[in-house]
């Protein structure tokens, strides 16, 4: 009896937690439902009143409407159930661009298992742009998966990916269309978030193409907080739609470093892109390291600067450059989404991306801060990017050394120069790449030297003896 009464009550609250067509769904002092039925969007008119309107009618809001929407924009924080650690996964874009289909995504999921990547911690299989039809369903306004590319829909694919113990991500855009011209989610946030939840989606990458003028930013927003910029509000509307779903969805903001995203990204999503697209070049790697270093203070549990998807396996990066690519994403705690056809990875490349100790630093459950540059010895030269980094993990203190020059070079640091090691005692060094201890012990005043190949990165853990 009691159980049945409880069940009836909770069913009733689910029904009543959604406002009907044209019903009020928000405003100052409003205590009723703030979510609309599928296909309807809670649209703020002013700070006192929001109403459920057909989702399609709200895309092109009048330019003069922006201020009132801004005043009543949702402030929901991202889910704390997911996204605490930087994501580890794969994304279809760098490997296949728009040439995607179910077979390629399933192949990637199976490779996670067969190549030992799942066992190493890789979890997300993410679909990028070009997965849907060009038009929404005329009646429900839902985005429709392309039936040729995805004959079992995204829900069928999600079920297969989940059956392997993995998670699945989807892609959309905080504008009227994606970069490749497929439906965007601006004005359709609620219906899209509900649809993805029904399909079993675990992760959303949300892009920034085709933004109407009244939703863009040409100057600093009033009050100076970019959280209140038109750009941030477009992303905040999706946060609210995502957190209203019963299952948590990790939220990756793709805004290319626009609108001072590092100042508000952590209040809106779990990670945020800092730049335009990655390329398999040494210049991209060095430039995005510098970009991330300018915003290290924004990184903490649940909030990560995104240096963009991996290029290991693509282009003509040397194996040393690929090691630096991986190590830098690791020690700066960027999401790591592999971006290649994994069937073509060599043993050397697999050894890089499966390195247990580097992944351990990246995925440390007790320390959320990244490594940061330090002065390795009193006369150490300044380079761009810096060459010496130190950070802590639950296993000790770590030093990462990038050789930014095009020649093999001897690098060295004084142990007492490493922040946190102190000026006395004896220390043991451990090579994180090989998983072996360096022989002997070092005093705080000792200098440690190592020959590092061009563009390679050495990685050490240091513990007190």
Total residues contacting ligand GAL (rule CB under 6 A)? 10
Residue 246's closest CA among 18, 8, 3?
A: 18
Active site residue 207: yes
CA distances from 186 to 38, 155, 183 (A): 15, 22, 9
Binding mask 264-303 for ligand GAL (x = CB under 6 A): -------------x--------------------------
Selected range binding ligand GAL among 55-63, 176-184, 213-221, 237-245, rule: CB under 6 A: 176-184
Q: Which of 40, 93, 131, 427 binds ligand GAL (CB under 6 A)?
A: 93
Least Å distance, CB 273 to ligand GAL, is 6
Question: Is residue 336 a contact point for ligand GAL (CB under 6 A)?
Answer: no
Selected range binding ligand GAL among 8-16, 175-183, 327-335, 386-394, rule: CB under 6 A: 175-183
As a whole number of angstroms, the distance between CA 38 and CA 54 comes to 9
Least Å distance, CB 206 to ligand GAL, is 10
User: Which listed residue (173, 202, 207, 308) is catalytic?
Assistant: 207
Least Å distance, CB 134 to ligand GAL, is 14
Binding mask 133-172 for ligand GAL (x = CB under 6 A): ----------------------------------------
Question: Is residue 453 a contact point for ligand GAL (CB under 6 A)?
Answer: no
Q: Which of 36, 125, 128, 317 binds ligand GAL (CB under 6 A)?
A: 128
As a whole number of angstroms, the distance between CA 224 and CA 237 comes to 20
Question: Is residue 207 a contact point for ligand GAL (CB under 6 A)?
Answer: yes
Question: Is residue 311 a contact point for ligand GAL (CB under 6 A)?
Answer: no
End-to-end CA distance of the chain: 64
Nearest residue (CB) to ligand GAL, 254 versus 429: 254
Question: Is residue 179 a contact point for ligand GAL (CB under 6 A)?
Answer: yes
Nearest residue (CB) to ligand GAL, 95 versus 233: 95
Pair of tokens at residue 62: 């009048």
As a whole number of angstroms, the distance between CA 21 and CA 377 comes to 67
Answer for the pair 74, 237: CB distance below 8 angstroms, yes or no.
yes
Nearest residue (CB) to ligand GAL, 250 versus 390: 250
Q: Which of 180, 319, 367, 454 binds ligand GAL (CB under 6 A)?
A: 180
Q: Which of 129, 202, 306, 364 binds ligand GAL (CB under 6 A)?
A: 129
> Which residue is listed with tokens 């705690």?
333
Question: Is residue 361 a contact point for ligand GAL (CB under 6 A)?
Answer: no
Nearest residue (CB) to ligand GAL, 281 versus 416: 281
Active site residue 456: no
Question: Is residue 357 a contact point for ligand GAL (CB under 6 A)?
Answer: no
Pair of tokens at residue 313: 């396996």
As a whole number of angstroms, the distance between CA 380 and CA 373 comes to 12
Residue 458's closest CA among 338, 331, 372?
A: 331
Ramachandran assignment for 454, one of left (phi > 0), alpha (psi -120 to 50 degrees), beta (any other): beta
Nearest residue (CB) to ligand GAL, 101 versus 228: 101
Nearest residue (CB) to ligand GAL, 159 versus 209: 209
Least Å distance, CB 171 to ligand GAL, is 6
Binding mask 240-259 for ligand GAL (x = CB under 6 A): --------------x-----
Least Å distance, CB 305 to ligand GAL, is 15
User: Which listed residue (137, 225, 277, 437) is catalytic?
Assistant: 277
Q: How far is CA 24 from the centre of its chain?
A: 34
Binding footprint of ligand GAL on the chain (CB under 6 A): 93, 128-129, 178-180, 207, 209, 254, 277
Q: Which residues are catalytic, by number?
A: 207, 277
């Amino acid at each position: 009896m009691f159980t049945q009464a409880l069940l009836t009550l909770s069913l009733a609250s689910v029904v009543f937690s959604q406002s009907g067509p044209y019903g009020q769904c928000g405003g100052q002092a409003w205590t009723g439902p703030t979510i609309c039925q599928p296909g309807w969007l809670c649209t703020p008119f002013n700070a006192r009143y929001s109403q459920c309107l057909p989702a399609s009618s709200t895309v092109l809001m009048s330019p003069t409407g922006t201020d009132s929407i801004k005043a009543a924009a949702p402030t929901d924080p991202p889910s704390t159930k997911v996204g605490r650690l930087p994501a580890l996964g794969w994304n279809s874009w760098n490997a296949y661009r728009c040439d995607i289909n179910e077979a390629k995504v399933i192949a990637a999921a199976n490779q996670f298992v067969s190549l030992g990547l799942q066992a190493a911690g890789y979890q997300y299989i993410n679909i990028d742009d070009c997965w849907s039809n060009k038009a929404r369903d005329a009646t429900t306004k839902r985005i429709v998966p392309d039936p040729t590319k995805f004959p079992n829909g995204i829900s069928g694919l999600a079920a297969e990916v989940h059956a392997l113990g993995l998670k699945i991500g989807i892609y959309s855009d905080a504008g009227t269309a994606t970069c490749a011209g497929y439906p965007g989610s601006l004005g359709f946030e609620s219906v899209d978030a509900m649809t993805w939840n029904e399909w079993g989606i675990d992760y959303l990458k949300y892009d920034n193409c085709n933004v109407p003028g009244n939703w863009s930013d040409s100057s600093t927003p009033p009050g100076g907080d970019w959280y209140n910029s038109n750009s941030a509000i477009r992303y905040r509307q999706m946060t609210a739609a995502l957190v209203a779903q019963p299952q948590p969805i990790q939220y990756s903001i793709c805004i290319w470093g626009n609108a001072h995203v590092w100042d508000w990204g952590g209040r809106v999503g779990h990670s945020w892109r800092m730049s335009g697209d990655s390329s398999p070049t040494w210049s991209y790697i060095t430039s995005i390291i510098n970009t991330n270093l300018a915003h290290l203070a924004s990184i903490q549990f649940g909030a990560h600067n995104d240096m963009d998807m991996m290029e290991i396996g693509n282009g003509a990066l040397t194996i040393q450059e690929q090691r630096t690519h991986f190590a830098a994403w690791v020690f700066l705690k960027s999401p790591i989404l592999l971006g290649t056809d994994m069937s073509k990875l060599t043993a050397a490349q697999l050894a890089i991306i499966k390195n247990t100790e580097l992944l351990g630093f990246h995925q440390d459950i007790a320390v959320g801060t990244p490594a940061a540059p330090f002065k390795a010895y009193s006369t150490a030269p300044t380079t761009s990017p810096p060459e010496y980094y130190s950070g802590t993990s639950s296993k000790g203190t770590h030093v990462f050394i990038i050789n930014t020059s095009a020649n093999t070079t001897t690098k060295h640091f004084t142990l007492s120069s490493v922040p946190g090691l102190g000026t006395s005692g004896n220390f043991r060094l451990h090579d994180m790449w090989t998983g072996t201890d360096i022989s002997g012990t070092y005093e705080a005043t000792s200098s440690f030297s190592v020959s590092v190949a061009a563009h390679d990165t050495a990685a050490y853990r240091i513990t007190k003896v």
